[in-house]
């Protein structure tokens, strides 16, 4: 064995220093596998100038109602936020089975996911205990099949800024981590009934640039049997710090996806954060089932440069 190789073999593995500062304060909760630090004062001050660019309204296509901020998060802090969230949050790689034409199929979610929040019928009190939203009484055991988690300060801060900008309110935060260009999300719409009619969803990108594709759902011929032309597909190349607000009929009438990609950006990770508002208990159960599941927890290892379980 060469000298250098021997040295590195015996050298203790010192974890790499994070590329961002955190506050001394941390959020701890029985539902968290480990504590999550608060954002540093410097990050909060920089975030306070969001939106970094004016939102562009996109509503000239049929049934489309969106606002696109490029970027929303100031560029001075977007990479730090990406590094912070990738390092400090816990993720899952969810597997579940669905029935297609009566045949059970295993689905491996092609990205890492995590989720925080609870629907409008419940809330966390100041001690982090889940209570009924109306009576403020502690929830009876078994109200939820899952274990809801409070939104940590680092995401709650961004949620509050987003609410102030958009005039919407949110009670859920879903986070996706796309490790590379092979991770993706296929065409879907967030049109579940538990989000209510015309849901508003704010969706953030941090890290790698990825294409966000949108297409109108198939349009049935009108009452006279005439074919209504479908609007053309939309492609937004979302960069770090960008935010799209989807609202109105967008979820009811359009589908969106983040397809696999190749090239240099495909070698980098990307975080997507969505803020949403679930109205009923079924929303909480759905979000925890598909974003937490029953498998092990993953955490970013700066030394290995990947999520490790
Ligand atoms: O990663 C994105 O930009 C989209 C995420 C998304 O569509 C979803 O979580 O429902």
CATH number, domain at 112?
2.60.120
pLDDT of residue 226: 84
Taking the centre of ligand 1 as the mean of its atom positions, its distance from the CA of residue 241, in whole angstroms, is 15
Beta strands (DSSP E) in 79-141 are: 95-100, 103-108, 112-117, 122-124, 130-132
- For residue 227, what pLDDT is reported? 85
Collect all residues with Cβ–Cβ distance below 8 Å to 1 and sequence separation of at least 6: 9
Residue of 185, 251, 269, 278 best suited for mutating to test ligand 1, as the one with most atoms within 8 Å of CB: 185
Gap from CA of 108 to ligand 1 centroid (Å): 16
pLDDT the model gives residue 100? 83
Domain interval for residue 147: 19-53+70-208+262-294
In a domain, 41, yes or no: yes
Q: Is 251 a domain residue?
A: no
220 in any annotated domain: no
Whether 82 is in a domain gets the answer: yes
**Torsion angles phi and psi, residue 106, rounded to 5:** -85, 130
Asked whether the beta carbons of 72 and 52 are under 8 A apart, the reply is yes
| Nearest partner of 177 among 305, 269, 290, judged by Cα | 269
| Max Cα-Cα span within the chain | 82
**In a domain? residue 89:** yes
> Does the beta carbon of 204 lie inside 6 Å of ligand 1?
no
- 205 contacts 297 by C-beta, under 8 angstroms: no
Calculate the alpha carbon distances from 6 to 2, 11, 12, 299, 304 in Å. 6, 9, 12, 29, 19
* Rounded-to-integer distance, Cα 24 and Cα 129, Å: 23
Question: How far is Cα 228 from Cα 247, in angstroms, rounded to an integer?
Answer: 23
User: Using DSSP, how many helices (H) and how many strands (E) does the chain show?
Assistant: 6, 19
Instruction: Give the per-residue pLDDT at 225.
Output: 81
Residue 185 Cα to ligand 1 midpoint, Å, equals 7
Distance of CA 8 from the midpoint of ligand 1 (Å): 41
Please tell me the residue having the least CA distance from ligand 1 atom 5.
272
Tokens coding 110:
């092609």
Flag whether 232 is in a domain. no
The reply to whether ligand 1 has any atom less than 6 angstroms from the CB of 256 is yes
71: buried, middle or exposed (CB in 10 Å: 19+, 13-18, 0-12)? buried
Q: Residue 162 in 3-state DSSP?
A: helix
Whether the CB of 174 sits within 6 Å of ligand 1: yes
Q: Are 256 and 66 in contact (CB under 8 A)?
A: no
- Distance (angstroms) between ligand 1 centre and the Cα of 111 equals 10
Q: Which two tokens stand for residue 109?
A: 């979610």
- 32 falls within a domain: yes
Query: Which residue's CA lies nearest to atom 1 of ligand 1?
Result: 272
Q: What are the distances in angstroms from CA 303 to CA 180, 307, 308? A: 17, 10, 10
Q: What is the number of other CB atoms lying within 10 angstroms of the CB of residue 293?
A: 16
Distance of CA 28 to the CA centre of its chain: 20
Q: Please choose from 110, 177, 203, 255 the residue to mutate so as to test ligand 1's pocket, defined by most ligand atoms within 8 A of CB.
A: 203
Q: Which atom of ligand 1 is nearest to the CA of 256?
A: 7
* Cβ neighbours of residue 226 closer than 8 Å, sequence gap 6 or more: none
Q: Is 212 in the pocket of ligand 1 (CB under 6 A)?
A: yes
Angle between helices 75-88 and 153-166 (to 10 degrees): 140
Order of strands, sheet of 210-216, starting from the edge strand that comes earlier in the sequence: 185-188, 254-258, 210-216, 234-238
Report CA(12)–ligand 1 centroid distance (Å). Answer: 40
pLDDT of residue 1: 46
Nearest residue by C-alpha to atom 10 in ligand 1? 190
Structural domain count, the chain = 1
- Phi, psi torsion values for 85, nearest 5 degrees: -70, -40
Residue for token pair 């220093």? 17
Return the pLDDT at 229. 86
- Taking the CB of residue 304, how many other CB atoms lie within 10 A of it? 9
Q: Is 284 labeled as ligand-binding?
A: no
Residue 112 CA to residue 298 CA, distance in Å, equals 8
Q: What is the pLDDT of residue 278?
A: 98
Would 201 be classed as within a structural domain? yes
Q: What are phi and psi of 296, to 5 degrees?
A: -75, 170
Give pLDDT < 70 ranges for the chain. Answer: 1-17
């Amino acid at each position: 064995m060469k000298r250098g190789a021997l040295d590195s073999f015996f050298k203790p593995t010192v974890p790499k220093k994070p590329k961002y500062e955190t506050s001394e304060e941390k959020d701890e909760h029985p539902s968290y596998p480990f504590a999550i630090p608060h954002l540093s004062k410097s990050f909060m001050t920089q975030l306070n100038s969001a939106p970094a660019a004016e939102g562009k309204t996109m509503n000239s296509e049929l049934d489309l109602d969106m606002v696109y901020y490029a970027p929303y998060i100031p560029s001075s802090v977007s990479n730090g936020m990406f590094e912070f969230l990738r390092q400090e949050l816990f993720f899952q790689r969810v597997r579940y089975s669905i029935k297609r034409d009566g045949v059970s199929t295993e689905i491996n979610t092609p990205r890492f996911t995590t989720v925080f929040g609870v629907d409008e019928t419940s809330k966390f009190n100041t001690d982090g205990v889940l209570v009924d939203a109306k009576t403020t009484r502690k929830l009876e055991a078994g109200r939820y099949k899952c274990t809801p988690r409070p939104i940590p300060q680092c995401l709650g801060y961004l949620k509050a800024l987003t609410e102030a900008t958009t005039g919407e309110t949110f009670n859920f935060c879903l986070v996706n981590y796309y490790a590379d260009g092979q991770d993706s999300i296929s065409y879907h719409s967030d049109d579940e009934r538990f989000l209510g009619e015309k849901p508003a969803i704010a969706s953030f990108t941090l890290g790698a640039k990825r294409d966000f594709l949108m297409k109108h759902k198939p349009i049935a011929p009108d009452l006279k049997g005439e074919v209504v032309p479908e609007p053309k597909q939309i492609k937004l190349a979302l960069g770090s710090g960008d935010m799209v607000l989807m609202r109105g009929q967008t979820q009811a009438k359009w589908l969106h996806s983040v397809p696999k990609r190749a090239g240099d950006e495909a070698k980098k990770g990307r975080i997507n954060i969505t803020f949403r508002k679930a109205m009923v208990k079924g929303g909480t159960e759905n979000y925890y089932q598909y974003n937490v599941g029953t498998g092990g927890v993953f955490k970013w290892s700066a030394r290995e440069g990947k999520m490790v379980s």
